[in-house]
Structures are given as C-alpha cells and as structure tokens.
Amino acid sequence: MTASPPLNGHKRPAMPVLGDWQPVEPEPVEEQRSPQPEPPVADAEVARARAWAEAEERRVAAEAAKEERRIKAEAEADAIRAKGEEEARRLRLANDRQERKAREDDAASDARIAESHRKRDEANRASKEAAEQAKRTSEEQAEAAKEVAEADEKWRKYAIRFAIVCAIVALPVQMNAFWNREAPWLIAAPIMLEGAAWVVHRGARAAVANGRPVWHYRTIVWLFALIAAAINLFHGIAEFDLGTAIGTAFASVAGPGVWDLHEHGRIRKRDGVKTRRERKAQEKAAKVEAARRASEEKRRAAENEAAEKAAAEARKRLAEDRAEQFPDVWDEAVKIAAAVGSTTDDAAVWARAYRNIKGCDPGESIESITARRAAEKRVEAALTGTPVNTLSKTTNAQRAIQVKAPRKTSSYKPVPPRRKKNDTPRFHPAARALAADAKRTANARQKDAP
C-alpha cells in the first residue's frame, strides 16, 4: 500500500477503515440477471468518504488560512519592525543633527566670544598704543615747543644785546656831531634819535601781539636808523676817517635792522606764512595731487565709457532676444514706443506691451502659470495624502452647499404664484457642477461618519 504524500509539511492522517479490508480486485461473483438495489452498507461508505473528504477540505482550508494569517502576521511584524527601525534611525539622525547643531552652535558661540575678546583686546591695545603715541607726540611737541621757545628767547636776547652794542658804537660819533659848548643840551639829540627808534620798535612789538598792521612802525624805525646812519657817515668823514664813518653808520643801521628781522619772524609766524621749503613741498604735493586726480578722472572716464558701451551692447542683445523670442510683443512694443515717444528698451513700454499681448506680467505665461498650479496641486496632494485627481480645481473652492435644505412644511399654504418659463435666472453650469460636487462630498462624509 502506497503512503499519501505530506500536505503543507504535515503528515496526512490515516484513512479510517470502514469495515474489513477488501482485495484490490474483487472476487468474481455470479452475474445477476435482474438489477438489485445497492445495499445500505455501500451508501454508508460513500457518506463516510464524502464526510471525510469535506473534513479534509475544511482542515486544509483551515491550515491554509492559518498559514496565511501566520505569513500576514510575520509580514506585519516585519513591517512594524522595519518601521520601528526606520523611526529609530530617523530619531538617531535627528538626535545626531541636534547634537551636531548644538556643537556647531557652541563652536560658533565660542568663536564669537573669542572674536569679541580678540576685538576687545585689539581695541584695548590700539587705544593703549594710541594713548602712548599721543603721549609721545605731546611730549615731542612739548619738547619741540620748548626748543622753539628757547631758540626764540636766545634770538631775542642776542638781538637786544647786538642792538645795545651797535648803539654804544654809533652814539659817540652822533654825540660828537651834536656837541656845542654854547648849546650843551643838543647832546641829547642822538639819544632821542636812537630812543625814538627803539620806542617805535616797542610799538611794532605791541602791534604784532595784538594782530594789528606793523608796516608803518617798521617804516618809521628804518627812517630813524637811516637818519642816524647819515649823521654818523657825514660827521665821521668830516671829523674822523672813512672807516670810522662807515663803521658807525653801519652800527646805526645794523642794530635796528637785526631787531627788525626778529620782529619780522614773529610777524610771519603770527600770520602763518610758510617758509620757502614748505612752499616748495606744498607745490610739489599739489602737483602730485593734481596728477593723481587727473589719473583718477581719466580712469573713471574710461570706466564710464566701458560701462556705457557694455550697457549699450546689453540693450542691443536684449532687444534682439526680445524680437526673436516674442515677435508679437515686440511689434506691440514698437507701436507703444512710437505712440508715447519712448524707446522699446523702456521697462514700462515693454511691460505694457507684454500685458497687452500675453495678458500677464513679463516673465509669466499661460504655460508657466499652468505648470505652477499643477505643481501646487501636487504639493497639496503630498501634504494631505489626497490623490491629485480628487483635489479641488482652486485652492479656495466652495466647500459647503449653497442651496439650503427645505424647512419643515407649514400648515399655511398660500396660493402659489403663477410660474412662467425663465422667470428665475438659472444657475451657471460651473455653479451647478460645484454644488453637485459639494453635495456628493457632504453625503459621503455623512455616510462615513460613525
């Protein structure tokens, strides 16, 4: 007897024995001449076999359903595990990103703090160096001012001493020239002459201190000095020799002249008059500055010319591109420019022509607007999980039903007016379609509501 093959990995149950075992080939029996009804035992065997087959079919179906549930449970478990792993991975990545961002923020904060400290240290160092430099500069200026003051004081003292020596040399010849036994008081004339020169010198010094003009003081001083020199020269030649005359005349002029040089320096310092070296340096610096300005102006002119040339070329290329890409808009722009007295490269003229032909602003088109709205629908579908085909055509479509539900019937029944055809305006086809869509959506929501 051959064993049955296993079913779904399980051993088949043994077939129940219904009665005694019978040989495969039945024993020959005598042919019955007349048909006889089957015995009740055969019907019982058939019923048992059918019941066993049905039981086996139910068992196989149950095992298949069990196996299907097991596979489905394993798949769900795998999906849950994969989802958990994916969620864990996302959380780990998010935590890593947050940690990395925190580290970056800390590093950036440390860098900002370090930069702030560095700038503060640099500012402190710069202020300290500036203070030290200012102190050194003030000390140098004070030292230079002290040296200048000492030099001016020495120059003043030497000028006074030289003037005194010159007066001592010049006065004897003048006194000899004015000596007269019958008029001895004339001996005071030379003293008066030299004293007048020095008095006027003091007036010139006061004028310098007060900022007043000093030319007339200096003129009078030189007049007195020349008078004294003339007296010494003529009297020295007449009474003494030529050398004495020239020496005393020079002494009469040299004393006031040296002091006038001293006052001349004070006047130029007061007026801020620069020296010849300073004037030469200033002229040289002015020439260098003029050359630099001329070079800068030349460079700017070249840059402006290049910029204008580039702008003209850009306008030309833009006009060619517009005429090639938008010939109908270009023709409209030419007409508008001729009408308003402008040019086609005017932004206002081109925008107006573009709106006249395309119906939208420059840079927009029917294709771009359609593509943008389709992209917005896809984004909305991705965010809401709704298929693109079921999305509303507009973002602010009507969501509620315009036509209200009829109220409860009232007992009051007035005489209805006589209706006529087209006595009420019909709904727009688009409004009817939207109302139908809204009605279907509301019915679906009511049906899905618990």
The amino acid occupying position 226 is: L
Per-residue pLDDT at 333 = 85
What distance in Å separates the CA atoms of residue 358 and residue 447, rounded to the nearest whole number? 47
Of 70-74, 113-117, 246-250, 411-415, where does mean pLDDT reach its minimum? 411-415
Mean pLDDT of 226-246: 83
Mean pLDDT of 308-333: 87
401 CA to centre of own chain:
51
Per residue, what are the HEC states of the chain? CCCCCCECCECCCCCCCCCCCCCCCCCCCCCCCCCCCCCHHHHHHHHHHHHHHHHHHHHHHHHHHHHHHHHHHHHHHHHHHHHHHHHHHHHHHHHHHHHHHHHHHHHHHHHHHHHHHHHHHHHHHHHHHHHHHHHHHHHHHHHHHHHHHHHHHHHHHHHHHHHHHHHHHHHHHHHHHHCCCCCHHHHHHHHHHHHHHHHHHHHHHHHHHHCCCCHHHHHHHHHHHHHHHHHHHHHHHHHCCHHHHHHHHHHHHHHHHHHHHHHHHHHHHHHCCCCHHHHHHHHHHHHHHHHHHHHHHHHHHHHHHHHHHHHHHHHHHHHHHHHHHCHHHHHHHHHHHHHHCCCCCCHHHHHHHHHHHHCCCCCCCHHHHHHHHHHHHHHHHHHHCCCHHHCCCCCCCCCCCCCCCCCCCCCCCCCCCCCCCCCCCCCCHHHHHHHHHHHHHHHHHHHHCC
Could you tell me the two tokens for 25? Answer: 């080939």
Residues near 173 by Cβ (< 8 Å), separated by ≥ 6? 231, 232, 235, 236, 240, 244, 245, 248
Residues 20-66 have pLDDT tens digits of 545 545 455 444 455 555 555 667 788 888 888 888 888 888 888 88
Percent of the chain with pLDDT over 70: 83
- Is pLDDT above 50 for 76? yes
Residues 274-293 have pLDDT tens digits of 667 777 888 888 888 988 89
Cα-atom radius of gyration of the chain, to the nearest Å?
63
Per-residue pLDDT at 221 = 80
- Is pLDDT above 80 for 208? no
- Is pLDDT above 60 for 403? no
- Is pLDDT above 80 for 297? yes
Residues 213-227 have pLDDT tens digits of 778 887 888 888 888
Percent of the chain with pLDDT over 90: 1
Per-residue pLDDT at 1 = 46
> Average pLDDT, whole number, for the chain?
78
Residues 354-386 have pLDDT tens digits of 888 888 888 888 888 888 888 888 888 877 766
Residues 408-433 have pLDDT tens digits of 666 777 777 777 777 777 777 778 88
302 CA to centre of own chain:
29
Per-residue pLDDT at 8 = 59
- Is pLDDT above 80 for 209? no
Per-residue pLDDT at 189 = 79
- Residue 10 pairs with which residues in a beta bridge? 7
- Is pLDDT above 60 for 69? yes
Per-residue pLDDT at 394 = 53
- 38 or 198, higher pLDDT: 198
Mean pLDDT of 322-336: 86
Place of tokens 């910029």: 307
Whether residue 351 contacts residue 363, with contact meaning beta carbons closer than 8 Å, is answered with: no
Residues 132-190 have pLDDT tens digits of 888 888 888 888 888 878 887 888 788 888 888 888 887 788 788 777 777 777 777 77
Place of tokens 């500012």: 123
Place of tokens 């030290």: 132
- Is pLDDT above 70 for 393? no
